[in-house]
Structure 1
Amino acid sequence: MIDMPQLDVGPYNGLYDILIAADNFWRQLNDNIDFSFVANEVRKNYSECMGRIAADPVLLFKYLLLKTARKLSDRDLIERVRYDMEMKYFLGYSPEQTEFIDPSLLTKFRRTRLKDTDLLDVLIGETVELGKKKGVIHDHEKIIVDSTHTNALYQHISAREELIRRAKELRKSVYAADESMKDKMPKKRESSGLLEDEIEYCRELLDLITSDERFKSIPDIQERLNYLKEGVDDTNEQLEYSKDQDAKIGHKTADTSFFGYKTHIAMTTDRVIVSATVTTGEKHDGKQAVNLIEKAEAAGVKADALIGDGAYSEKDNIDYTTEKGIRLASKLSENVLHGSRKKEFEFNKDAGMYVCPAGHMAIRKCKSGQEKAADGSNTRVILYFFDIEKCKTCPLREGCYKKGAKSKTYSVKIKSDTHIAQMDYMNTDEFRKLYAERYKIEAKNAELKQTLDYGEAHACGMIGMTIQAAVSIFLVNLKRIKTLENSSKDTNGKE
């Protein structure tokens, strides 16, 4: 069963009218958004007849919004609510409230109640509906598409190394308060190289510092202590591996890579996101175009035009948008997938190279064949060469690498009739005008990373990354809709 409490009304609630302005973002969000959709979405993950009454999922979701916006651990978030009137108002507490939820409820809510939900699509759908009511989103829109990458929580280092780093930061804060604590610290076990030993050391360190009453009043120590504790709890759930197993290596350029995820987004030219999907880091941007268009339609927005970089100009996307009557403003690249090749090989637009199923990138490329062979056919292809030494020992070599071969290549045919037609469209004024809007999505990606710390995953696994995407996009959309609404009022001469 789910407990759905009413707004806490106390004798001091009038303070909110004095302290929190009418145009405050969190006040407007609380007053204008009906969050009951959250309870409906997670209801299937609750039992209606077993166990004690559960905490209100709407309240827990509001906590999650604040956690993402303020970049706090669960424990520090609860502590901040004790004295932050803005937070108390948004959560529905009275100003004098002193008792709040246990931080462990937030962890359980994220891990068990939000799993197997369509939270990402639901939250975007809610903001699209709100935007349409406010008149800032329309039934037909020009849509800009792109992806942004997020480093995994344990990017390129093991969970053990991450715990060592957090423990070191905690010790430094303690030494700043009392240098004599150096002689009291538990004995390090770094030489063993075992994750289990490092977890045990961190627990001893946490017990030592927690037991010292002097440090409870020092915010810096408490925040680092909670950060380490959360890291131990997360790692303890996944002792069988040392880094996020859902995450994959993606390539930003031929020389740079990242370990994590991609969030593929579609937004209007007014910078409101209307659809999104989260994939592992190695996935090709262009493969998500159809999914993004269909998700936008499900949310209530039909694409009049699709604007994106060269990754979206592959043949399947051109055929799809032509059939749907959608103008495709995507510059052709000669290195695009042409439909007849193996789907497992992904093209990385930034590096200009293909990546094999094992995640290895081609090391060089060259052109081969003739534009008009003896039989009149076009045999021109681009050959991508892979590091043969890696192929020899690759666990996926069966059916891909022929034993004894001196080279491993992957070929892509140059130009189809479909791409030739797209080349003609690229020379039109309409194409140039549409493509000039593409830069806007770069600013949206930057906003996600700079204001909501979206460059780093806050939890392990695809589920955690998807929840982070859902909440982050929900927040930036609401802020953008508010900005557009205020701008419209100013233009019309209203207050």
Structure 2
Amino acid sequence: MISNQETLNLSPFMAIYDIVVPKDNQLRQINDLVDFTFVYEELKNKYCLDNGRNAVSPIRMFKYLLLKAIFELSDIDVVERSKYDMSFKYFLDMAPEDSVIDPSSLTKFRRLRLQDVGLLDLLIQKTVEIALDKKIITSKTIIVDATHTKSRYNPKAPIEFLMEKSKNVRKSVYKIDESMKEKFPAKTTSNEVKDELAYCEKIILTIEKEAHLVNIPAVREKLNILKEVVEDYTEQLDYSADPDARVGHKTEDSSFFGYKTHIAMNDERIITAAIVTTGEQSDGKYLQELIEKSQATGMEIETVLGDTAYSEKNNIHYAKEKKLQLVSKLNPQITQGGRAKEDEFEFNKDAGMYVCKAGLMAIRKARQGKKNVGKNQRDIYYFDIKKCQACPFREGCYKDGAKSKTYSVTIKSTEHKDQEAFQNSDEFKEKAKSRYKIEAKNSELKHRHGYDVATSAGLFGMQLQGAMAIFAVNLKRIRTLMKESE
């Protein structure tokens, strides 16, 4: 139960924080900036209020997850650091002498308390409310883009993935103590997952016996990752890939296995909306939802900036209907309109190819017809016939015995005259210069907050990771803007 959660801390050592956690410490400033009681109000119905043992405050558990996102730490490492880092203890509303939680509590908190909460929208809403209250949002422009996150579980055979993680641990150990080569067990040669798991468990036990190694952060972090992976595989030996992750395409020749986060950000570089999807989803279809989610936070919007993925016919019509300026360059492959099976074939702007509903990308394209001869030109996209023959969606799409599978698109050069005229204007070109801001934000999420790789399996885990990472970067940005306005 969570009764009596808001009692005052009467520890005689609380004054230590005034000495060791300065006023410019980012965690102290976040604590001063955000009233975290909204977490308690949102989650209290997930607990029993009058029966059972007192639970750890949901606010403290939430703050642990936020610390993980800010400092890119594992469950074990964030709890370990909260034992001795006074800024962590202060942020967590702990007395200096308080004991910490068990790391396994964080897993239970995520699974039992945060399901069905809509945490991503909730946290973005909270940060935009803070920014509007502080009067640091003045623009009426949002910039949209999508960033990809690789699955934690690559589409490799289980044994290959285990071998990779154990290798990372051994390399980190050898940098400190090469003599450990003699203590490690012999590598397995059976090519069996169970044998590789047993080998990894022996590696873990061997390192844990070496106090001079296990306490070194570089080794401990790799070791903790290996332990989590071994635990996952022990529970489900045939688990070789994230069940919700999908293959998406970055370019015609490169792909990734994982997820996409579709993001809207205002000119002040505060994220105003986000939608987490599987990796194969196209960017353009989420524009309208990003706009509406941004408006729901209280943002006024007049202009929307995006790359060519967002200049689909439906988006242009939506922008005109809502009286919004859509600063997105036309792409003839996207904006033609009137194509057959429009709902089944999505254009991937990075690869310049169409993807069918089974997630298969065209392998080449050719243009048919000549310009200005009375007939519209067509782009013909060719798919791998062998994959089409085995596709579960082949009925109604692939004709048995056919020697090729193509998808054709008519290019209508006069379909979007108004948008074409706008994109050639000086106003369009000037506004389009701000698009770089969202690319920098995507880079910050990936390189400073670990958003390049998913920390857990499944779409819910990715949504939770996105919620905490975006909440963290928005709070940091608000602090920066407040300093600049002083």
Q: What TM-score comes out, normalization by structure 1 length?
A: 0.90
Q: 1-side partners of 2:467 and 2:447: how far apart?
A: 17
Question: Could you tell me how far 1:159 is from its partner in structure 2?
Answer: 4.1
Moved more, 269-278 or 385-394: 385-394
Partner of 1:115: 115
Partner of 1:104: 104
Task: Describe the shift of the 1:103–1:406 C-alpha distance in structure 2 as closer, same or farther (beyond 3 A).
Answer: same
Task: Describe the shift of the 1:48–1:240 C-alpha distance in structure 2 as closer, same or farther (beyond 3 A).
Answer: farther
Question: Could you tell me how far 1:165 is from its partner in structure 2?
Answer: 2.4
Question: Could you tell me how far 1:9 is from its partner in structure 2?
Answer: 3.9
Q: 2-side partners of 1:177 and 1:333: how far apart?
A: 54
1:439 aligns with one of 422, 436, 441 = 436
Question: Could you tell me how far 1:325 is from its partner in structure 2?
Answer: 0.6
Matches within 5 A, 1:260-279: 260-279=258-277
Moved more, 206-215 or 49-58: 206-215
Partner of 2:47: 46
**Contact 2:72-2:448 within 8 A present in 1 as well:** no
Q: Which amino acid is the alignment partner of residue 91 of structure 2? A: F
The DSSP-based 3-state class of the residue aligned with 1:381 is strand
Question: Could you tell me how far 1:322 is from its partner in structure 2?
Answer: 0.6
Q: 2-side partners of 1:57 and 1:228: how far apart?
A: 28
The DSSP-based 3-state class of the residue aligned with 1:258 is strand
Q: Identify unmatched segments of 5+ residues in structure 1.
A: 490-495
The DSSP-based 3-state class of the residue aligned with 1:153 is coil
Question: Could you tell me how far 1:185 is from its partner in structure 2?
Answer: 4.1
Partner of 1:309: 307
Q: Identify unmatched segments of 5+ residues in structure 2.
A: none
Q: 2-side partners of 1:286 and 1:119: how far apart?
A: 24
Partner of 1:227: 225
Matching of residue 458 in structure 1 with residue 455 in structure 2: yes
Q: 1-side partners of 2:246 and 2:314: how far apart?
A: 25
Question: Could you tell me how far 1:280 is from its partner in structure 2?
Answer: 1.1
Moved more, 184-193 or 300-309: 184-193
Q: Which amino acid is the alignment partner of residue 325 of structure 1? A: K
Task: Describe the shift of the 1:417–1:118 C-alpha distance in structure 2 as closer, same or farther (beyond 3 A).
Answer: farther
Question: Could you tell me how far 1:13 is from its partner in structure 2?
Answer: 2.4
Q: What TM-score comes out, normalization by structure 2 length?
A: 0.92
Q: 2-side partners of 1:259 and 1:51: how far apart?
A: 43
Task: Describe the shift of the 1:436–1:8 C-alpha distance in structure 2 as closer, same or farther (beyond 3 A).
Answer: same
Task: Describe the shift of the 1:218–1:485 C-alpha distance in structure 2 as closer, same or farther (beyond 3 A).
Answer: closer
Question: Could you tell me how far 1:469 is from its partner in structure 2?
Answer: 0.7
Structure 1 vs Structure 2 CA RMSD: 2.5
The DSSP-based 3-state class of the residue aligned with 1:270 is coil
Percent identical among aligned pairs is 51
Partner of 2:57: 56
**Contact 1:318-1:418 within 8 A present in 2 as well:** no
Deviation per CA, 1:357-394: give whole Å up to 9, x if none.
Answer: 22222122223358899xx8x65432211122322233
Partner of 2:477: 480
Q: 1-side partners of 2:9 and 2:394: how far apart?
A: 63
Question: Could you tell me how far 1:416 is from its partner in structure 2?
Answer: 7.2
**Contact 1:315-1:418 within 8 A present in 2 as well:** no
Partner of 2:140: 141
Q: 2-side partners of 1:371 and 1:177: how far apart?
A: 66
**Contact 2:363-2:381 within 8 A present in 1 as well:** yes
Task: Describe the shift of the 1:180–1:423 C-alpha distance in structure 2 as closer, same or farther (beyond 3 A).
Answer: closer
Task: Describe the shift of the 1:186–1:129 C-alpha distance in structure 2 as closer, same or farther (beyond 3 A).
Answer: same
Partner of 1:395: 392
Question: Could you tell me how far 1:299 is from its partner in structure 2?
Answer: 1.2
Task: Describe the shift of the 1:37–1:199 C-alpha distance in structure 2 as closer, same or farther (beyond 3 A).
Answer: farther
Task: Describe the shift of the 1:8–1:159 C-alpha distance in structure 2 as closer, same or farther (beyond 3 A).
Answer: farther
The DSSP-based 3-state class of the residue aligned with 1:277 is strand
For this pair of structures, how many residues does the alignment match?
483
Question: Could you tell me how far 1:435 is from its partner in structure 2?
Answer: 1.4
The DSSP-based 3-state class of the residue aligned with 2:60 is helix
Q: 1-side partners of 2:235 and 2:408: how far apart?
A: 43
Q: 2-side partners of 1:110 and 1:18: how far apart?
A: 34
Q: Which amino acid is the alignment partner of residue 144 of structure 2? A: V
Deviation per CA, 1:453-488: give whole Å up to 9, x if none.
Answer: 211111111111111111111111111111111112
Partner of 2:347: 347
Q: Which amino acid is the alignment partner of residue 227 of structure 2? A: K
**Contact 1:141-1:268 within 8 A present in 2 as well:** yes
Task: Describe the shift of the 1:56–1:301 C-alpha distance in structure 2 as closer, same or farther (beyond 3 A).
Answer: same
Partner of 1:191: 190
**Contact 1:7-1:93 within 8 A present in 2 as well:** no
Partner of 1:336: 334
**Contact 2:379-2:409 within 8 A present in 1 as well:** yes
Task: Describe the shift of the 1:168–1:295 C-alpha distance in structure 2 as closer, same or farther (beyond 3 A).
Answer: same
The DSSP-based 3-state class of the residue aligned with 1:92 is coil
Moved more, 46-55 or 265-274: 46-55
Question: Could you tell me how far 1:56 is from its partner in structure 2?
Answer: 1.2
Q: 2-side partners of 1:303 and 1:34: how far apart?
A: 27
Question: Could you tell me how far 1:421 is from its partner in structure 2?
Answer: 2.2
Task: Describe the shift of the 1:212–1:480 C-alpha distance in structure 2 as closer, same or farther (beyond 3 A).
Answer: closer
The DSSP-based 3-state class of the residue aligned with 1:328 is strand
Question: Could you tell me how far 1:160 is from its partner in structure 2?
Answer: 3.5
Moved more, 39-48 or 256-265: 39-48
Partner of 1:94: 95
Partner of 1:421: 418
Q: 1-side partners of 2:436 and 2:218: how far apart?
A: 40
Task: Describe the shift of the 1:399–1:411 C-alpha distance in structure 2 as closer, same or farther (beyond 3 A).
Answer: same
The DSSP-based 3-state class of the residue aligned with 1:192 is coil
Q: 1-side partners of 2:476 and 2:460: how far apart?
A: 25
